[in-house]
Copies of this chain bind each other. A is one copy, B any other.
Amino acid sequence: MDYSIGIDIGGTNTVIGLVDEKGNVVAKEKLKTRDFTIVDEYLQAITAKIELLADRVKEENLILGVGIGAPNGNYYHGTIEYAPNLPFNGIIELKEILEVLLLKDGYNLKVTVTNDANAAAIGEMIYGKAKDVKNFIMITLGTGVGSGIVVNGKLVYGHTGFAGEVGHTIIDPDGRQCNCGRKGCVERYASATGIVITIKEMLDNSSDNSVLRNIDRDKITSKDIYDAAVKGDKTALECFDYTAKQLALGIANAAEITSPEKVYLFGGLSKSGDFLLKPLKKYMEEFLFSIFQNTIDIELSGLKEEDAAVLGAAALCY
């Protein structure tokens, strides 16, 4: 049995997993990313966890390598570059430093880095639904909106290594202010953050009797909107419809560039199921140029939410 180590670096947690070739996460270690302010200490802590996991199978097996999914992770450079949600600034030479630290301790492991959404796309190819799908788009709906794009069986990295930013394509240049400094990015509408902005706008601009009015306005979450939709709350349902429409435009525009067979949705908001999926399919077809209509399926990812990020990262070793 071959194994690989997958690392999911997030703003809150860093999860290091030992993954077998069938896609089982056989052991997991965790670090609180925010416990660290000095990047060297953080990387040393990750190294110790990698070695701990590698030791579990060192007698019997081969470890293929270490894959890392990280915000603003760059595949070509092996770096994290200016990630806004991490406690470390600037460019982190992730691949180079980790490989040196591991080698010093006698572990000769190749480290591969990409961003979290690209890792999810590769995870879908290796362990999920996309084993035989040559052209697809993976959309991750979390605090932000990420994406990984596969063309002809290969992940698209482009000239910079940062290709595949559907979440930061602009659907309304006069629209909502985005954290990235520009206006009207898909992410400002279709993320967990975006849907909360939408519901607040809807509640502010109407006098409906939505059940969401029973919740402190500043504490409404995307989960509350989902719960309200389940109860048939009209405003919550309209909110999903609007969110789906904005996301549909972003997906349709991306689909006209790469013509995917499948679009997979992953992450928090995708758990809303048909509240999002049904209007999303309808609006995507409306926004698609005729030659692409009825050629694209939108589905939920086949990766288990809990392990997906680690699986995706581990899949980088293949």
Contact = CB atoms under 8 A, between A and B. Distances in A.
Q: How many identical chains are in the complex?
A: 2
A135 interface: yes
Interface stretch (A27-35, A37-45, A255-263): A255-263
A168 B289 contact: yes
A116 to B, nearest CB: 14
Nearest to A289: B168
B164 A135 contact: no
Interface SS of A by simple majority? loop
A252 interface: yes
Given A159-B295, A295-B159, A257 B81 contact: no
Interface string A235-273: 000000000000001001110111111000000000000
Contact of A151 (B156, B185, B289, B296): B156
A88 interface: no
Interface of A: 72, 81-82, 134-135, 149, 151-152, 154, 156-166, 168-173, 180-182, 185, 249, 252-254, 256-261, 286-287, 289-292, 295-296
Given A156-B257, A170-B249, A170-B253, 19 more contacts: A82-B290, A82-B291, A135-B158, A151-B158, A156-B259, A158-B258, A159-B259, A159-B296, A160-B259, A160-B291, A162-B292, A164-B257, A164-B259, A165-B291, A169-B252, A169-B257, A171-B173, A173-B287, A182-B289
